[in-house]
Structure 1
Amino acid sequence: MLVVAAALIDPKGRVLVQRRKRSSEHGGLWEFPGGKVEPGETLPGALVRELAEELGIAIEPADLAALTFSTRLREDGRELALMLYSCRRWEGVPTALDAEAVAWHAPAGLGALDMPPLDIELARNAIPLLM
């Protein structure tokens, strides 16, 4: 299963994360926004779609840069690969349309957030690249 996520970086160098709905898997934890890649989608195309659905913002695929990735074997035996892209340009104001909240954090502060296991690994890998 392929999943894509974005480290949206504002002009102050802060990164946007969103808090998962309490009723969802990993509810209440902070994560990079994104979602599953649907059949026939490219990775950037899926991320553009997911960010529009989750945050109400428009992004051009050319504004996404591959940053890092993380993988994990799920309980059902399938491998989950989570690809993190960075993005510094978008249109609109990121709004929590499919989450409890969004917040901006300095890269160094990402490691202190309660995150799902794959996002913890992504944050650990991405922090040096974002600073």
Structure 2
Amino acid sequence: MTVRVVVGGALCHDGRLLAARRSAPPEVAGRWELPGGKAEPGESVPEALVRELREELGVETEALERIPGEWPVRPGLVLHVWMARLLSGVPAPLEDHDELRWLGPDELDTVDWLDQDRPAVAEAGRRLSLRGRD
């Protein structure tokens, strides 16, 4: 079976991480994730991240470095997470989400993250704490 990569963006701005609440499908609606989506054939994972964040949130971003690890989403799909920086725009929930929140490193446990996002969220929070304000 071919495994497709789903890329999640640990989008950081002013020392905070963007969390997005899923509105669909029903089995994950109401839970929180790092926004992103599937890489298309022939597209690099960083390119996919920039495209997906533009489509889902209406913002321009830059993929920075990948958070080590990969996490199964469902059979045939694996999550890779990249740190990302906001270049322009104000994120808005355009597709798949009904709410967005900017969370500081000490607020990351205030939302119900999807299980596959939790390890990367913890690492992104650790990096934010080390970096302080960017």
User: Which TM class, normalised by the smaller chain length?
Assistant: 0.7 to 0.9
- TM-score by length of structure 2 reads 0.82
Q: For 1:20-60, what per-residue CA distance to the aligned partner results, in whole angstroms no more than 9, with x for missing partners?
A: 00544411101111001111110011011100100001124
More strand per residue: 2
Q: For 1:96-129, what per-residue CA distance to the aligned partner results, in whole angstroms no more than 9, with x for missing partners?
A: 1011011100123213320111011221233212
1:2 aligned residue: 5
Indicate the larger mover: 120-129 or 25-34.
120-129
List runs of 5+ in structure 1 lacking aligned partners: none
Distance 2:5 2:13 in 1: 26
Determine if contact 2:34/2:117 at 8 Å carries over to the other structure. yes
SS of structure 2 residue aligned to 1:66:
strand
Change (3 A) 1:22 1:37: closer
Determine if contact 1:68/1:126 at 8 Å carries over to the other structure. no
For 1:95-110, what aligned pairs fall within 5 Å after superposition?
95-98=92-95, 99-110=97-108
SS of structure 1 residue aligned to 2:125:
helix
2:132 aligned residue: none
Determine if contact 1:31/1:115 at 8 Å carries over to the other structure. yes
2:21 aligned residue: 19
Determine if contact 1:9/1:88 at 8 Å carries over to the other structure. yes
Identity of aligned residues (%): 39
For 1:1-131, what aligned pairs fall within 5 Å after superposition?
1-11=4-14, 13-60=15-62, 63-72=63-72, 74=74, 76=75, 78=76, 80-98=77-95, 99-131=97-129
What letter matches 1:9 in structure 2? C
Determine if contact 2:17/2:125 at 8 Å carries over to the other structure. no
How well do the aligned residues superpose, as a CA RMSD in angstroms? 1.9
- TM-score by length of structure 1 reads 0.84
Determine if contact 1:6/1:47 at 8 Å carries over to the other structure. yes
Distance 2:30 2:9 in 1: 19
Aligned residues between the structures: 125
